[in-house]
């Protein structure tokens, strides 16, 4: 069985306040690209995880691998041997580890079904994991785990992801947020929320990783209808009206910045 761990992007990410528990109150519009890591699973006597692919080296700690942790959250009558092809950069604002965990939940759901408390089990692994289980456009509130349905009017939209190949951990970016509540997300369809929204972590992320500003400037120079940083960075996304415009932008950026990582896809 083979499944894709779809790359997560935040079309809007509004940070409202710091909570007493140390987390932050968020409003976000999750969307997912039809490309990402790939998990292959087969029955086995016991669970195991093998990591291959371009970014396999970023997951060299077996105790910090969300695929293994997700397997541990979902007891079954049989083991699963999973090979993870790591195509997404690590610490990149794409929810790569969360997407991998979400894919494990889908694998187990297909083979055995999920327990009724699957959402709580997913939440225990990370704030993005519940959204990544379904990997569909949705609104997240609270720490991002309180999910609400959103329309899917952006499905099929061509998207380009670009990362300067600089890892950026989430914790320092949230810590550098200035604490100013800049207001709630708009209401309406997904396109309206995205266009009228913002990413409140963009400024602190750029302070920690100035290359993000270069990526955004280069993306906006290709005339997308929206370019923004995803999550806590450093990956940025650009949305285009058609595939030709996206592909021309990708080719131009690859020529100008051959060292940057990029991935093309469409929103699911």
Judgement on whether residues 19 and 111 belong to the same structural domain of the protein:
yes
Average pLDDT, the chain: 96
pTM assigned to the model? 0.95
| pLDDT at res. 17 | 96
Q: Give me the pLDDT at residue 227, please.
A: 98
Of the residues 106, 131, 149, the one at which a domain ends: 149
Is 128 catalytic? The answer is yes
For range 54-79, the mean pLDDT = 87
Q: Write down the pLDDT at residue 109.
A: 97
Query: How many CB atoms are closer than 10 A to CB 2?
Result: 12
Among residues 149, 182, 217, the one where a domain terminates is 149
CATH code assigned at 203: 3.30.70.890
Q: What is the 3-state secondary structure (H, E, C) of the chain?
A: CEEEEEEEEEEEEEEEEECCCCCEEEEEEEEEEEEEEEEEEEEECCCEEEEECCCHHHHCCHHHCHHHHHHHHCCCCCEEEEEEECCCCCCCCCCHHHHHHHHHHHHHHHHCCCCCCHHHHHHHHCCCHHHHHHCCCEEEEECCCEEEECCCCCCCCEEEEEECCCCCCHHHHHHHCCCCCCCCCCCCCHHHHHHHCCECCHHHHHHHCCHHHHHHHHHHCCCCCEEEECCCCCCEEEECCCHHHHHHHHHHHHHHCCCCEEEEEEEC
Same domain, 20 and 136: yes
Tell me: do 119 and 12 sit in the same domain: yes
95-148 pLDDT per residue, tens: 999 999 999 999 999 999 999 999 999 999 999 999 999 999 999 999 999 999
CA distance 254 to 250: 6
Residue 54 has pLDDT above 70, yes or no: yes
Here the CATH number for the domain that contains residue 130 is 3.30.230.10
From 8, 69, 73, 86, active-site residue: 8
Give the range of the structural domain holding residue 54, as residue numbers without chain letter: 2-149
**Is residue 194 a contact partner of residue 229, using CB atoms and an 8 Å limit?**
no
Q: Give yes or no for residue 19 having a pLDDT over 70.
A: yes
Give the 3-state DSSP-derived string for 204-216, with helices as H, strands as E and coil as C: HHHHHCCHHHHHH
Q: What's the domain count of the chain?
A: 2
Q: What pLDDT band is residue 58 in, cutting at 50, 70 and 90?
A: confident
Choose one of 123, 149, 175: the last residue of a domain.
149
- Percentage of the chain beyond pLDDT 90 is 94
One domain for residues 174 and 236: yes
Which pLDDT does position 62 carry in this prediction?
A: 60
Domain match, 27 and 137 both: yes
Q: Name which of 75, 79, 124, 78 is nearest 101 in CA terms.
A: 124
Q: How wide is the angle at C-alpha 85 spanned by C-alphas 32 and 115, nearest 5°?
A: 60
Do 33 and 125 lie in one domain? The reply is yes
Whether 81 and 135 map to the same domain: the answer is yes
E strand or H helix at 113, and its extent? none
Summarize the confidence of residues 171-193 as an average pLDDT.
97
Residue pair 197/14 in contact by the 8 Å Cβ criterion: yes
Say if residue 15 is in the same domain as residue 110. yes
* pLDDT score for 63: 62
Q: For this structure, is 47 an active site residue?
A: no
Does the pLDDT of residue 258 top 70, yes or no? yes
Nearest 5 degrees, angle CA 5-CA 24-CA 208? Answer: 75
39 and 172 belong to one structural domain:
no
Shared-domain flag, residues 235 and 258: yes
Catalytic residue, from 37, 100, 128, 200: name it. 128
């Amino acid at each position: 069985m083979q499944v894709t761990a779809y790359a997560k992007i935040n079309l809007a990410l509004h940070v409202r306040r710091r909570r007493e528990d140390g987390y932050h109150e968020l409003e976000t519009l999750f969307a997912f690209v039809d490309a990402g890591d790939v998990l292959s699973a087969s029955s086995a006597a016991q669970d195991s995880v093998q990591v291959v692919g371009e970014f396999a080296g970023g997951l060299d700690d077996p105790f910090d691998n969300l695929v293994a942790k997700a397997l541990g959250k979902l007891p079954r009558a049989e083991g699963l041997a999973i090979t993870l092809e790591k195509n997404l950069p690590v610490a990149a604002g794409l929810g790569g580890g969360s997407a991998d965990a979400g894919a494990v939940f889908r694998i187990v759901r297909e083979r055995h079904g999920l327990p009724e408390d699957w959402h709580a089990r997913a939440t225990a692994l990370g704030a993005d994991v519940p959204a990544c289980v379904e990997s569909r456009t949705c609104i997240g509130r609270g720490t991002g785990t309180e999910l609400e349905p959103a329309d899917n009017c952006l499905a099929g939209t061509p998207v380009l992801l670009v990362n300067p190949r600089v890892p950026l951990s989430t914790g320092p970016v949230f810590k550098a947020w200035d604490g100013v509540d800049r207001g709630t997300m708009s209401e309406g369809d997904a396109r309206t929320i995205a266009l009228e929204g913002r990413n409140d972590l963009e400024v602190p992320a750029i302070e920690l990783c100035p290359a993000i500003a270069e990526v955004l400037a280069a993306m906006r120079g290709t005339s997308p209808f929206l370019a923004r940083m995803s999550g806590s960075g450093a990956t940025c996304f650009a949305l285009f009206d058609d595939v030709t415009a996206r592909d021309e932008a990708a080719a131009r950026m690859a020529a100008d910045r051959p060292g940057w990582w990029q991935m093309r896809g469409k929103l699911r």
